[in-house]
Chains A and B, each alone.
Chain A
Amino acid sequence: MGRKLLIHNDHVPNIHTLEVYRAHGGYASVEKALKTMQPDQVTDEVKKSGLRGRGGAGFPTGMKWSFLAKPEGVPRYLVCNADESEPGTFKDRYLMEKIPHALIEGMITSSFALGAKQSYIYIRGEYFYVARIVEAAIAEAYAAGLLGKNILGTDFSHDCSVQVGGGAYICGEETALLESLEGKRGNPRIKPPFPAVAGLWGCPTVVNNVETIAAVVPIVNMGGEEYAKIGVGKSTGTKLISASGHINKPGVYEIELGITVEDFIYSDEYCGGIRNGKKLKAVVAGGSSVPILPTELILKTAKGEPRLMTYESLSDGGFATGTMLGSGGFIAMDEDTSIVKNLFTFSRFYHHESCGQCSPCREGTGWMEKILKKFLDGTANESDVDLLWDIQSKIEGKTICPLGEAAAWPVAAAIRHFKHEFIEIAQKKKFVDISHYDRLNKIRA
Chain B
Amino acid sequence: MSSQVHGAQKFDKAKRAETVFSEEAMKTAQTIISRYPEGKQKSALLPILHLAQAEFGGWLSPETMDYVASILKIRPVEVFEVASFYTMYNLKPMGKCVLEVCQTSSCWLNGAEDIVKYIEKKLNIKVGETTKDGMFSLKVAECLGSCGTAPMLQCGASYHENLTYEKVDAILETYKNEGRLRSYTDLDYKNTL
Q: Which residues of B contact A345 (CB under 8 A)?
A: 103-105, 108
A197 to B184, CA, bound (A): 35
Q: Which residues of A contact B44 (CB under 8 A)?
A: 183
Q: Are A185 and B46 in contact (CB under 8 A)?
A: no
A251 located at the interface, meaning its Cβ lies under 8 Å from any Cβ of chain B in the complex? yes
Chain B 154-193 interface residues, beta-carbon cutoff 8 Å to A: 154, 157-159, 164-165, 184-185, 187, 189, 191, 193
A211 located at the interface, meaning its Cβ lies under 8 Å from any Cβ of chain B in the complex? no
B50 located at the interface, meaning its Cβ lies under 8 Å from any Cβ of chain A in the complex? yes
Contact of B148 among A90, A181, A436 (CB under 8 A): A90
Q: Which residues of B contact A89 (CB under 8 A)?
A: 145, 147
Q: Are A346 and B104 in contact (CB under 8 A)?
A: yes
Contact of B115 among A86, A353, A366, A440 (CB under 8 A): A440
Closest to A246 in B: B109
Contact of B146 among A90, A129, A186, A356 (CB under 8 A): A90
Q: Give the secondary structure class of A's interface.
A: mixed
Q: Which residues of A contact B86 (CB under 8 A)?
A: 125, 165-168, 186
A45 located at the interface, meaning its Cβ lies under 8 Å from any Cβ of chain B in the complex? no
Q: Which of B11-19, B34-42, B121-129 contacts A (4 or more CB under 8 A)?
A: B34-42
Q: Are A164 and B46 in contact (CB under 8 A)?
A: yes
Name which of B113, B142, B148, B164 has the most chain A CB atoms within 10 A of its CB. B148
Task: Please encode chain A, from 122 to 138, with 1 for each CB lying within 8 Å of some chain B CB and 0 for all others.
Answer: 00111111001000000
A175 located at the interface, meaning its Cβ lies under 8 Å from any Cβ of chain B in the complex? no
Contact of B105 among A166, A169, A284 (CB under 8 A): A284
Q: Which residues of A contact B2 (CB under 8 A)?
A: 351-352, 354, 356, 362, 366
A269 located at the interface, meaning its Cβ lies under 8 Å from any Cβ of chain B in the complex? no
B151 located at the interface, meaning its Cβ lies under 8 Å from any Cβ of chain A in the complex? yes
A331 to B72, CA, bound (A): 43
CB distance from A347 to the nearest CB of B (A): 11
A67 located at the interface, meaning its Cβ lies under 8 Å from any Cβ of chain B in the complex? no
Interface size, B (range): 35 or more
Known pairs A163-B43, A182-B40; A88 contacts B106 (CB<8 A): yes
CB distance from B175 to the nearest CB of A (A): 17
Q: Are A288 and B105 in contact (CB under 8 A)?
A: yes
CB distance from A435 to the nearest CB of B (A): 6
Q: Are A164 and B47 in contact (CB under 8 A)?
A: yes
A310 located at the interface, meaning its Cβ lies under 8 Å from any Cβ of chain B in the complex? no
B110 located at the interface, meaning its Cβ lies under 8 Å from any Cβ of chain A in the complex? yes
Q: Are B104 and A436 in contact (CB under 8 A)?
A: no
A132 to B37, CA, bound (A): 22
Size of the A side of the interface (Cβ < 8 Å), in residues, is: 72
Q: Are B145 and A129 in contact (CB under 8 A)?
A: no
Contact of A166 among B87, B150, B154 (CB under 8 A): B87
B75 located at the interface, meaning its Cβ lies under 8 Å from any Cβ of chain A in the complex? no
Q: Which of A237-245, A293-301, A423-431 contacts B (4 or more CB under 8 A)?
A: A237-245
A352 to B144, CA, bound (A): 14
Closest to A203 in B: B37
Q: Are B110 and A439 in contact (CB under 8 A)?
A: yes
A422 to B84, CA, bound (A): 36
Task: Please encode chain A, from 331 to 366, with 1 for each CB lying within 8 Å of some chain B CB and 0 for all others.
Answer: 101000100011001101101111110000010001
Q: Are A435 and B113 in contact (CB under 8 A)?
A: yes
Q: Which residues of A contact B148 (CB under 8 A)?
A: 90, 242-244, 250-252
A436 to B44, CA, bound (A): 43
Q: Are B114 and A166 in contact (CB under 8 A)?
A: no
Contact of A87 among B40, B50, B147 (CB under 8 A): B147
A120 to B44, CA, bound (A): 12
Q: Are A128 and B185 in contact (CB under 8 A)?
A: yes
CB distance from A126 to the nearest CB of B (A): 5
Q: Are B145 and A85 in contact (CB under 8 A)?
A: yes
B131 located at the interface, meaning its Cβ lies under 8 Å from any Cβ of chain A in the complex? no
Q: Are B106 and A87 in contact (CB under 8 A)?
A: yes
Q: Which residues of A contact B49 (CB under 8 A)?
A: 166
Q: Are A352 and B85 in contact (CB under 8 A)?
A: no
Taking Cβ atoms with an 8 Å cutoff, the residues of B that contact A are 1-3, 35, 37, 40, 42-47, 49-50, 72, 74, 78, 81-82, 85-89, 103-106, 108-111, 113-115, 117, 141-151, 154, 157-159, 164-165, 184-185, 187, 189, 191, 193
Q: 25 A-B residue contacts at CB 8 Å?
A: A84-B145, A87-B143, A88-B147, A93-B145, A125-B50, A126-B184, A129-B159, A132-B157, A165-B46, A166-B86, A168-B85, A184-B78, A185-B85, A244-B148, A329-B147, A345-B108, A348-B104, A348-B142, A352-B2, A355-B1, A436-B111, A436-B113, A440-B114, A440-B165, A444-B164
* Extra inter-chain contacts (14) besides given A182-B42, A440-B114, CB under 8 Å: A87-B106, A161-B35, A166-B49, A168-B85, A180-B46, A184-B42, A244-B148, A288-B105, A349-B105, A351-B3, A352-B2, A353-B1, A362-B2, A439-B109
